[in-house]
């Protein structure tokens, strides 16, 4: 307690204070599995992601998804009577802040498992700490291929950059008949890894990438890049990036008369894309793990309860972190300590998640479908799903 306690507390006042201190001690247990006020055993699940700053939309939605999963699991009695407690830390999409956040979650909060609700760079940075502490971490939507190479305690609930880059290249050429692509990509681990996969697969299939340019997070003027693209005779623009910059690219392409299809990565999957880009996003097609139109009960219930709780539609980041927490809960059926959770995750097979049936392969990568979504009349509309190995 921050206030100084006087030395002259006597009688009933002293007894009350002592009781308060005991209750406070139980509520902030330093053990991995503590006891809740009602006597239930509690396991802490640590979450980190960008809850403030330019990337806060993704981070907040990711936290919302995790929170909803925890609430629903606890409302059903927890996992074999064990309740979950979500402990969230803000990394502001910064590798340094992610490192501090995860250290706090592991060393001070004593979490039994972690959920990364952050991007590839921050998630890669924390891998050594996760491995050393042997606290299992489920990566919700960071796609850089190297992330799961960090150790035995890291699992990814989404497919890699290679998988979605390859999938879009094949779809664009075989089904849309496109051959020449301009590639614009975010100059970070996420954008670079996806564009490398996409460009390599395009060339492997006989297509070409005459224009390939990087941009930085927060860039607003894409006219120089789009002017170069306009004269290159491309069939389409592929953007490996997030919704903020993607919306600007769509708007400015229309203004410059660059009238070719825009294709994108899963960073497009946010209501903010349409909100910021307006009519210029009409016809945009992107890859995502989340089919919000799927008729499965688990999807319909997730969309309904998320909207009721948070007063907005869920996006990919919310769906992914929801599934990440559910995967941890499923793993807890083998035990609630960190070693048992890690073992349970490694045995995951055909788990029915909001983002599809999920199995972890030997490399701890999720095997799940890639979804193609198109903006149609101001809404995200399902196009098709393809299976992955």
Q: Is residue 123 part of a domain?
A: yes
* Predicted local distance difference test score (pLDDT) of residue 151: 80
Same domain, 65 and 114: yes
Same domain, 121 and 190: no
Q: Is residue 188 part of a domain?
A: yes
Same domain, 131 and 152: yes
Q: What is the pLDDT of residues 12-24, one digit of tens each?
A: 334 333 333 333 3
Confidence label for 4 from pLDDT (cuts 50, 70 and 90): very low
Q: Is residue 13 part of a domain?
A: no
| CATH code where residue 151 lies | 3.40.50.2300
Same domain, 282 and 338: no
pLDDT at 382 exceeding the cut of 70: yes
Residue whose C-alpha is closest to residue 102's, from 82, 120, 118, 81: 118
Average model confidence (pLDDT) across the chain: 91
Task: Tell me how many domains the chain contains.
Answer: 2
Q: Is residue 216 part of a domain?
A: yes
Same domain, 110 and 209: no
Same domain, 80 and 177: no
Q: What is the pLDDT of residues 158-211, one digit of tens each?
A: 999 999 999 999 999 999 999 999 999 999 999 999 999 999 999 999 999 999
Same domain, 221 and 313: no
* Predicted local distance difference test score (pLDDT) of residue 113: 99
Same domain, 220 and 305: no
Q: Is residue 379 part of a domain?
A: no
In which domain, by residue range, is 208 found?
162-288
> Which of 299 and 20 is assigned the larger pLDDT?
299
Q: Which helix (H) or strand (E) holds 161?
A: helix 161-174
State how far the Cα of 280 lies from the Cα of 100, in Å rounded to an integer: 40
Same domain, 272 and 341: no
State how far the Cα of 376 lies from the Cα of 374, in Å rounded to an integer: 6
Structure tokens at 110: 């004593």
Q: By percentage, how much of the chain surpasses pLDDT 70?
A: 89
Which of 241, 263, 288 is a domain's end point? Answer: 288
* Predicted local distance difference test score (pLDDT) of residue 219: 95
Same domain, 256 and 192: yes
């Amino acid at each position: 307690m921050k206030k100084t306690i006087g030395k002259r507390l006597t009688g009933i006042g002293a007894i009350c204070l002592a009781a308060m201190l005991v209750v406070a001690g139980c509520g902030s247990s330093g053990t991995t599995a503590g006891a809740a006020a009602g006597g239930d055993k509690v396991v802490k699940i640590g979450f980190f992601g960008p809850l403030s700053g330019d990337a806060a939309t993704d981070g907040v939605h990711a936290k919302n998804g995790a929170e909803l999963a925890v609430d629903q699991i606890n409302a059903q009695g927890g996992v074999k009577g064990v309740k979950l407690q979500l402990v969230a830390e803000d990394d502001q999409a910064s590798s340094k802040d992610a490192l501090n956040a995860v250290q706090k979650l592991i060393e001070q909060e004593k979490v039994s498992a972690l959920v990364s609700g952050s991007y590839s760079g921050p998630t890669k940075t924390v891998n050594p700490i996760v491995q050393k502490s042997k606290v299992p971490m489920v990566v919700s939507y960071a796609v850089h291929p190297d992330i799961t190479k960090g150790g035995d305690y890291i699992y990814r609930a989404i497919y890699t950059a290679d998988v979605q880059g390859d999938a879009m290249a094949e779809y664009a050429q075989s089904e849309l008949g496109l051959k020449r692509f301009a590639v614009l990509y975010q100059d970070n681990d996420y954008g670079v890894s996806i564009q490398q996969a996409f460009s390599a697969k395009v060339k492997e299939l006989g297509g070409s990438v005459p224009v390939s340019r990087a941009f930085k997070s927060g860039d607003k003027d894409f006219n120089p890049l789009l002017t170069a693209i306009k004269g290159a005779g491309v069939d389409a623009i592929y953007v490996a990036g997030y919704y903020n910059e993607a919306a600007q690219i769509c708007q400015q392409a229309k203004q410059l008369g660059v009238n070719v299809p825009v294709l994108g990565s899963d960073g497009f999957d946010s209501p903010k894309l349409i909100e910021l880009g307006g009519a210029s996003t009409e016809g945009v097609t992107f890859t995502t793990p989340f089919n919000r139109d799927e008729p499965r009960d688990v999807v319909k219930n997730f969309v309904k309860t998320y909207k009721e709780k948070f007063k907005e539609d869920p996006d990919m980041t919310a769906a992914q972190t929801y599934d990440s927490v559910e995967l941890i809960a499923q793993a807890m059926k083998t035990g609630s300590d960190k070693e048992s959770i890690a073992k349970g995750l490694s045995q995951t097979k055909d788990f029915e998640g909001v983002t599809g049936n999920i199995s972890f392969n030997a490399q701890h990568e999720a095997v799940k479908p890639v979804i193609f979504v198109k903006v149609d009349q101001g809404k995200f509309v399902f196009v098709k799903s393809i299976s992955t190995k």
